[in-house]
Amino acid sequence: MRVLYVGDIMAGPGQQVVEKLLPQLRKKYQPDFVIAQAENIDESGKGPGYKEIKRMQACGVDFFSGGNHSLLGKNSHDLYGDESMPVIRPANLDSDTGKGYKIINTSQGNILVVSILGQTVGHGQPRIANPLDTIDKILSTLSEEDFAASIVNFHGDFSSEKRVFGYYLDGRVSAVIGDHWHVPTADAMILPGGTAHITDVGMCGTLHSSIGVRTELIVNRWKTGRPSRNEIEEKGPLQFNAVLVDVDESTGLARSIEHIQQIIE
């Protein structure tokens, strides 16, 4: 089973580059299932809504993972409250809205997708349960016969957390894919026990920006110490980042992981 995981889709520019490149990447790599990080997909950069999800489905995304901004969009609670929608929010987020994991049927077998928040992520977050305890509870309630592949998304700030979480699950899931930084790391690998891992897959959005936001606003905030509202950078080249994971359905472990980056004007 070939799974393509697309990094954080950052607002309008992120939607544009995914819409432009994903159809041709699906033809080239022939993934059986495509997952995308949707926590920043709204035009404001916070939380998904029905419109954004349907637009990305139309260009080839099958399922959407979550992060610390998942429930902050103006339409996010309605979206996550609709169990028919192919979205999850972090499983260890203190919320009664939506699900933290789902099992989806594909032509190559069932696939488990889980989102987990690191314990250090963003500011002013609600209570976050221990990531290790959370994933243990989820896996303990499931049988390996329930799915042929398992993709765990770890959304956090600390590289140490992301890395340790990968090793903690090594040999137990197909892949542990980190995101949230919006900056790709050069460490995609198969861990000793057979789990594919990357610390951060990167984002989809404007290349010359502060993780999708106008850089001059961040510089001014940094120099003056005065708070300001983020504004999405709309100009310049666009970047697309993803990883392709090939899973052996007979073992549920990964054969390979490849980082994919494309930049378009």
Measured distance CA(45)–CA(113) in Å, rounded: 23
Contact 63, 53 (CB under 8 A): no
Helix or strand holding residue 132 (H, E): helix 131-140
Number of other residues whose CB lies within 10 A of the CB of residue 63: 22
Q: Tell me which residue of 39, 20, 56, 53 sits closest to 262, measured CA to CA.
A: 20
d(CA 112, CA 103): 4
Q: How far does CA 214 lie from the centroid of its chain?
A: 22
- To the query of whether residue 69 is one of the catalytic residues in this protein, the response is yes
Q: Strand ranges (DSSP E) for 87-148? A: 101-106, 109-117
Closest CA to 207 of 156, 265, 254: 265
Number of other residues whose CB lies within 10 A of the CB of residue 28: 11
Burial of 222 (0-12, 13-18, 19+ CB in 10 A): exposed
CA distance 215 to 172: 40
Catalytic residue among 69, 155, 180, 182: 69
Closest CA relative to residue 25, chosen from 52, 53, 6, 51:
6
Residue that the structure tokens 């690998």 belong to: 189
Query: Catalytic residue positions?
Result: 69
